Amino acid sequence: MKVSILPDKTEVLTFSQAINQALSDAMFLNPKVVCFGLGATDPKRIFGTTTLLKEKFGKERVWDVPCSENGLTGVAIGMALMGHPTILTHQRVDFMLLSFDQLINNAAKWSFMFGQKIDLPLTIRAMIGQGWGQGPTHSQTLVSTLMTVPGLRVIAPSTPQDAYSSLFQAIQLPEPVIVLEHRWLHDSKGTVDSSLKLIPKTRKRRSGGSMTVVAYSYLINQCLLAANFLSQFGIELEIFDICDLNNIDFSLIASSTRETKNLLFVDMDNSKSSISNSFMTTVLAKVNNIDRWKIISYPNTPVPTSHLLAKHYYIDSYSIAQEVIELLGIDINEDELKPLISRFDDVPSDAFRGPF
């Protein structure tokens, strides 16, 4: 079946709308693409990311599912092997734990076991992040856990453009890709150019000479907020976004670090298992003249349910700014950082309407 080529366009979209657009474009261009997941056709359509897909492409290509993650992942793998690029969505990454047998022992290993001669075009979307007292079993990120599995590619976009480009390209790839979407990004807005359809490489999001800062997903936004605020004190952060977590340009980060002589990794995983430990080692091996370096990540405890405790658990622009001035040894009064303190404990803004 031949389909017409979609015209490229540039428009302002929310993160959710960008994901929806990527799904729609991929399904329009390839009639074999299928999309399913818990809530895919319910009234809220997984944060609005699957809005109108069933109406556009029919129930044979877009459908809701029962709670059976391991079985559904097996179905997704089977469909992908039969030539259907398959998109499976989990409303929380925590639910994906039930599918680890299929994900790790089948999806991640299949191409290797058959000499890279068999494609497995499987894209798994999973939501990460906090909100409304989701607690220990509904707020995990599991980034490091997923990154340790050879054969899985992990992507964590931070902007609507990255969300669109990453997801569209992931659907085209002959390998299993995990796309991690932070819930607090879904309402963020940005310009999306649909002609840009490649997974973003490691790139500089802000220039500065005081310190090199590396982050991904929602924490990129928090780093940028902290950087813009600290600039009034003469502190200029150089910020790198590592969206494609399996393909980081460490040479680019090392080059920046040689200039700033200060390096900070900001990670949304637990401190003990943080991927930043190996990332930091890789960069430090390339840089000889570094003055200061540090990793900031979540505490090595489960996520607390109480919002009063959670606000001391998560990383935000305020805590990033604190770490920067402490690392640089600059004397800035705590009161001067108060504008960075959010009045929200476990929601991003007044617009947040819950995990579903």
* Catalytic positions: 138
Rounded CA separation 301/38 (Å): 29
Asked if 303 and 346 touch (Cβ cutoff 8 Å), the reply is: no
Return the bridge partners of 195, or none. none
Amino acid letter for position 111: S
Rounded CA separation 84/107 (Å): 14
Rounded CA separation 201/138 (Å): 29
Rounded CA separation 73/39 (Å): 16
**3-class DSSP state for residue 291?**
coil
Asked if 237 and 255 touch (Cβ cutoff 8 Å), the reply is: no
Residue that has been written with the tokens 């050879």 in this structure: 150
Chain length of the chain = 356
